[in-house]
Amino acid sequence: MKKQISYAVLAIIAFFSANTENVYAETDLQNIVSKYDAKVYGFVELDVFFDNADIDGNGDSVSTAGASEDYDVSSTSFNPRGSRIGIDISDKNNGDWLSEAKLEMDFKGLAKKNTFTPRLRHGFLKLTNKPTKTSITVGQTWAPIAKLHVPTIDAGVMSQGGNIWARMPQITVKKNFDNNFNALISLAEYRKGENQDKNNAPWILSRLAYENENLLAAIGGGWRNGDLKGENDYENINRWVAALELKYKMGLFTFMIEPWIGEGVDDFSRGPLGINNSTKTPEAMLAWGGFSSLQIKATDSNVIALGYGIDDPKDKDIEGMKLTDKLFYKNQRAFINTWQDLTDSIKIGAELDYVRTDREKTHDGFRILLATKMTF
């Protein structure tokens, strides 16, 4: 079935690539299929959730407990926007070189609960030299550091709750060594936002990792410099981040932990928690955080996961800023969930999320989430 879908997509590509003088022929599709391997993938998912308070990050995901006094208002939502579709393409016949590309989208293009606009998640090409085990990736995909994925069902994957992550346009060179080590260096530039620097450099990121069947251990970090406009003039700002990754599999159990520390780390899904613009001179905020999780394969068809995360900016670095929903002194998250397979492609899930946010007052809340998902 997957191969049939992939061929259908390639047929569409071949059809639209034909010009008006050259009518589409069967050989066009045959040439494409003989040259490329293609796989269409994705899933359709409906999330139904109940919140006992205002903990909604962007219409989809748990973020922080709301800052307003009347934050403890319950709500219910049905959300299919996380459904996604993608295609992987690779070049079969290129000798010592392997050419690959990925294009993937979901339907979260606008942060409104009843809008289903397509949004690019991944769009990159990758060229690998097989003899030297060296690759270059160009395009948008996961940030090349802090690469562990916390196993929540909630789509926010603990953003502002301990997990730093992003899908960043980048140029990344990676080298795999024969002893299970790999290393990379990357130039990455997050999409422009309110705190966009003037004369800015991209993030310069690097990561060293050891990986085998049961263990992943890595250290990564990066630096970026640019000028931000203050009250009178532009101020030079240095941003930096460092992160550790540890993932260990033992039988039915998978344990993960990912601590981090940095200054000006708003580019990694932390909202406005990067630069304090409330004073005459903009300053980068120092913060630390991380998450830990445990997954248990209870049966062949059932997986259980639980975890905890924390995002803790330095209180002094937030002085003078109005503590809105996305700004806080400390934000803590905890979850427990389970996925149960019904068929080879359909499964159902349930999750309990808890969030506790410290500002002048401490607010907290929880979400009960039920999910139905078909993967193809």
DSSP string, 170-207: EEEEEEE-TTSEEEEEEEE-PPP-TTPPBSPPPEEEEE
Contact (CB, 8 A) for 5 and 12: no
- Residue 271's nearest CA partner among 58, 119, 109 is 58
What is the DSSP annotation of 271-317? TTTTEE-SSSS-EEPEEEEEEEEEEEEEETTEEEEEEEEEEEE-GGG
Contact (CB, 8 A) for 374 and 346: yes
The predicted pLDDT at position 121 comes to 95
Angle between helices 2-17 and 26-35 (to 10 degrees): 120
Domains of the chain: total: 1
Question: Within a 10 A sphere around the Cβ of 281, how many other Cβ atoms?
Answer: 13
- Cα–Cα distances (Å) from 6 to 33, 84, 88, 102, 217, in that order, read 9, 16, 9, 13, 35
Query: Residue 257: is its pLDDT beyond 90?
Result: yes
> What CA–CA distance (Å, rounded) separates 337 from 183?
34
Q: Hey, which residues does 46 pair with through a beta bridge?
A: 372
**pLDDT band for position 265 (50/70/90)?**
very high
> What CA–CA distance (Å, rounded) separates 231 from 238?
18
Percent of the chain with pLDDT strictly greater than 70 = 86
Q: What is the CATH number of the domain that holds 298?
A: 2.40.160.10
> What CA–CA distance (Å, rounded) separates 94 from 20?
30
Give backbone dihedrals phi and psi of 22, rounded to 5 degrees, phi first.
-115, 100
Contact (CB, 8 A) for 219 and 206: no
The predicted pLDDT at position 194 comes to 47
Percent of the chain with pLDDT strictly greater than 90 = 66
> Which structure tokens are listed for 317?
């670095």
Location of structure tokens 């953003």: 159
Cβ-Cβ contacts under 8 Å for 204 (sequence gap 6 or more): 185, 186, 187, 222, 223, 224
Of residues 15 and 170, the one with the higher pLDDT is 170
Cα angle 88, 92, 95 (rounded to 5 degrees) comes to 135
> What CA–CA distance (Å, rounded) separates 134 from 128?
6
Contact (CB, 8 A) for 136 and 124: no
**pLDDT band for position 127 (50/70/90)?**
very high
**pLDDT band for position 32 (50/70/90)?**
low
Average pLDDT, the chain: 88
- Residue 272's nearest CA partner among 220, 206, 328 is 328
> What CA–CA distance (Å, rounded) separates 72 from 156?
20
Query: Residue 258: is its pLDDT beyond 80?
Result: yes
Interstrand relation of 75-79 and 203-211 (parallel, antiparallel or unpaired):
unpaired
Query: Residue 21: is its pLDDT beyond 80?
Result: no
Residues for the chain: how many in total?
376
Q: Which helix (H) or strand (E) holds 218?
A: strand 215-229
Of residues 64 and 235, the one with the higher pLDDT is 64
Among 29-43, 104-118, 326-340, the range with the most confident prediction by mean pLDDT is: 326-340
Cβ-Cβ contacts under 8 Å for 4 (sequence gap 6 or more): none
Q: Which domain holds residue 64?
A: 2-375
